[in-house]
Structure 1
Amino acid sequence: MILRLAALCLAALLVTACQRNDLKEPPVDLGDFALGLNIVVADHAQKVPISREASVEEWEAVMKTAIDDRFGRYEGTKLYNLGVSIDGYALAPPGIPVVAAPKSVIAITANIWDDAAGAKLNEKGEKMTVFESLTGGSIVGSGYTMSKDEQMEALAYNAAKRIEGWLVAHPEWFGLPPLPPKPAPAPGKDK
């Protein structure tokens, strides 16, 4: 049993080491986007009862860093302000490996403003639920293979990437042509 657990942990470390960090690649096109204000609030974040504890200050710092890392790469000609509210989280505690390996998750609401116009671009906050990435370590349980800080960094990285995907889906906000409409499903075809 101990040998199997050691093999699983070794596999988890190898998979984690092979994970790709897309921040080393050029950013996707966001037209005239440049990061203005980076506002993160976590004072109303709800913690799932089985979660490890994390402070408001820890969440705000880790999320601001992830947003700066991802969006600070953009060198557009116009400032856009991002506002992110951390609504809830669960940081997986150690569980029973494989059998009951809880997953870490964060729930956020994102908003974006055109700085010069002082106008919010999205009508209502974009709610997102972001899970930890599936790795060998998360199969065993990230509560065993990662510290609380590592779990928070991984969730913040995934959340910032998810926010980027949301912005990419709205190119018209950044001086780019809108995405073409999705084709209608063919008659008689299931969706």
Structure 2
Amino acid sequence: MTTDLSRRAFAGLALGGLAGCAASDPLTEAPRDMGDFRLGLTIVVADKVKKIPPSRDATKEALIAAMTAEIDRRFRRYDGAREYHIAVAIDGYALAPPGIPIVLTPKSIMVVTANLWTADPQEKIRGPEQLTTFEGADTLLLGSGLVKSADEQLATLARNMSGKIQAWLLREPETFGLPPR
């Protein structure tokens, strides 16, 4: 009886901890300074995407829609003087299937290749840069396959990846008229 109660308590604490570790929403964070950046086009392709086993299935259309939506959410709020295009090729993904808590907790992952273009004149100024992201700490003990749908996993991966893209862009802040770090 005590062991059963302990298991339930542990599961409750773990699930409660998951709620606190969700991917942060870029719209609730203070925006990072992006200088003269203004998003022109968001170009996302998944022509050569590979599913990394073990993984739930995702269509190319779902991958593209999730990534496009999260790039737009993060970058459309900037209204700098110069227009830039972000181009992303989704190279690979894994959406964690359900596992065995603590023993087997498959992780969700996304791999992309990103490029940055100026709109006028139209030229590639950064990239290609291959970036990888995981869902995050909220999947450490249980694995997201037990607590999230494939769509929720994909949305989290896309949100995390848009943050990685921003961090990559800001590694060279002078690109956007900001002082070097």
- Structure 1 length-normalised TM: 0.86
Other-structure match for 1:106 = 110
Other-structure match for 2:54 = 50
SS at match of 1:121: strand
Between the two proteins, what is the percent identity of the paired residues? 46
SS at match of 1:159: helix
Pairing of 1:1-191 with structure 2 (within 5 A): 3=5, 6-19=8-21, 20-122=24-126, 124-135=127-138, 137-179=139-181
Task: Indicate if the aligned counterparts of 1:66 and 1:156 stay in contact, CA closer than 8 A.
Answer: yes
Change (3 A) 1:9 1:146: farther
1:167 is displaced (CA, Å) by 0.9
Equivalent-residue separation in structure 1 for 2:38 and 2:7 (angstroms): 46
Equivalent-residue separation in structure 2 for 1:9 and 1:37 (angstroms): 44
1:82 is displaced (CA, Å) by 0.2
Equivalent-residue separation in structure 1 for 2:4 and 2:44 (angstroms): 43
Unaligned runs of 5+ in 2: none
Equivalent-residue separation in structure 1 for 2:12 and 2:87 (angstroms): 39
Task: Indicate if the aligned counterparts of 2:27 and 2:73 stay in contact, CA closer than 8 A.
Answer: yes
Equivalent-residue separation in structure 2 for 1:141 and 1:76 (angstroms): 40
Equivalent-residue separation in structure 1 for 2:123 and 2:167 (angstroms): 21
The residue type paired with residue 131 of structure 2 is M
Residue correspondences, number: 177
SS at match of 1:49: coil
1:18 is displaced (CA, Å) by 2.4
1:5 is displaced (CA, Å) by 5.1
The residue type paired with residue 91 of structure 1 is L
Equivalent-residue separation in structure 2 for 1:7 and 1:45 (angstroms): 41
Task: Indicate if the aligned counterparts of 1:103 and 1:131 stay in contact, CA closer than 8 A.
Answer: yes
Per residue, is there more strand in 1 or in 2? 2
- Alignment root-mean-square deviation, CA: 1.7
Equivalent-residue separation in structure 2 for 1:9 and 1:23 (angstroms): 31
- Structure 2 length-normalised TM: 0.91
1:11 is displaced (CA, Å) by 2.5
Task: Indicate if the aligned counterparts of 1:66 and 1:157 stay in contact, CA closer than 8 A.
Answer: yes
